[in-house]
Structure 1
Amino acid sequence: LRRARHPDECLLLCSCLAMANPQVFFDIAANGEPLGRVTFELFADKVPKTAENFRALSTGEKGFGYKGSCFHRIIPGFMCQAIRHSGKSIYGEKFPDENFILKHTGPGILSMANAGPNTNGSQFFICTAKTEWLDGKHVVFGRVKEGMNVVEAMERCGSKDGKTSKKITITDCGQLS
């Protein structure tokens, strides 16, 4: 970095830094044994309300969040799904689909689980494959930035019906940037 030569240059730099997408982490365990850390980039530049819901639930700053929650449904070759204990979002029970700009392009995509249109809460899933049939139905809001090996280890604990062979828990979570 270099010093700004003009106040407008400083403003431009500050606004670009402010627009950086947040990163959050989950520390994951299987039956209490650590599997590792998964880091997510949240696409606040495309779906700010959805990204903010996940970010705030990751930090627990509203008095509730993902810490201690489980991945209750894991289907190998499809996805790993989790929910905060009550299923409630930071906006109340449910909030509307923000948009469907982003697509389910492959492993590592982070998307909202729902019970139909405009029923987003705290339930989400991590794709372990391309799932284009979900486009236009589930809001994509992030991606795995690091720790896909941890997601793959989680996936090995799943089954065709989604039941897990081990209890997959978010032991800690928070914001990195």
Structure 2
Amino acid sequence: SPSLCCRIDVGRMKIELFADVVPKTAENFRLLCLKLLPYRKDGVPIGFKGCTFHRVIKDFMIQGGDFVNGDGTGICSIYRGPFADENFRMKHSAPGLLSMANSGPGTNGCQFFITCTKCDWLDGKHVVFGKVVDGLLIMRKIENVPTGPNNKPKLPILIAQCGEM
């Protein structure tokens, strides 16, 4: 399975993707990490580098990846728009699992979240496609930042760099 590394303002997380179980979802995330999309904004390739974790809920999850609007409303994917839920074989059974954020069936795009605990009520609704294999303490640091309205961190938590290992 491919491994990716994200350097965030507060540290570094290594992520393993479940490409053997959910290849389309894993590839979408991988290419967004590497900015290998045909899309450009003002001539610059788009992807996760430079976007923020825009939603943080202690004892639940940290959410990011909205490089479109930065607030949880943006959808973009390597498939040109929202894409279908690939399968729900992997479960939200532990902290550190990477899952697609969506607004209902078939609305996957660029947004993802990382579980901070077991979240079995999300099974069958959100596609788990990877896990944090190094950097759970960084996830905990993000989980504990002060937040304001809509669970938005009071200070930006920026994805400074991301790429393959």
131, 134, 152: which is aligned to 2:140? Answer: 152
Gapped runs of 5+ residues in structure 2?
Answer: 38-44, 69-74
For 1:168, what is the secondary structure of its paired residue? Answer: coil
Q: TM-score, normalised by structure 2?
A: 0.88
In structure 1, what is the equivalent of residue 126 of structure 2? 138
- The structure-2 alpha-carbon separation of the partners of 1:135 and 1:40, relative to structure 1 and needing over 3 Å to count, comes to same
Residue 85 of structure 1: CA displacement? 1.6
For the 8 Å contact 1:76–1:158, the answer to whether it is kept is: no
For the 8 Å contact 1:76–1:159, the answer to whether it is kept is: no
In structure 1, what is the equivalent of residue 15 of structure 2? 40
Pairing 1:65–2:54 present? no
In structure 1, what is the equivalent of residue 87 of structure 2? 99
Taking the aligned partners of 1:83 and 1:120, their CA distance within structure 2 comes to: 11
For 2:63, what is the secondary structure of its paired residue? Answer: strand
Pairing 1:167–2:156 present? yes
Residue 119 of structure 1: CA displacement? 0.4
State which structure, 1 or 2, has the greater radius of gyration over its C-alpha atoms: 1
- The structure-2 alpha-carbon separation of the partners of 1:83 and 1:39, relative to structure 1 and needing over 3 Å to count, comes to same
Residue 162 of structure 1: CA displacement? 1.4
For 2:151, what is the secondary structure of its paired residue? Answer: coil
Pairing 1:25–2:5 present? yes
Taking the aligned partners of 2:6 and 2:95, their CA distance within structure 1 comes to: 17
Deviations 1:26-60 (A, max 9, x none): 1111xxxxx11101000000000000000000111
1, 22, 27: which is aligned to 1:52? Answer: 27
For 2:79, what is the secondary structure of its paired residue? Answer: coil
Deviations 1:54-91 (A, max 9, x none): 00001111232100010000000000001232230111
Q: TM-score, normalised by structure 1?
A: 0.82
Taking the aligned partners of 2:103 and 2:145, their CA distance within structure 1 comes to: 24
Identity over aligned pairs, percent: 49
Gapped runs of 5+ residues in structure 1?
Answer: 1-20, 30-34
Taking the aligned partners of 2:98 and 2:60, their CA distance within structure 1 comes to: 12
For the 8 Å contact 2:46–2:67, the answer to whether it is kept is: no
Pairing 1:121–2:109 present? yes
Pairing 1:109–2:103 present? no
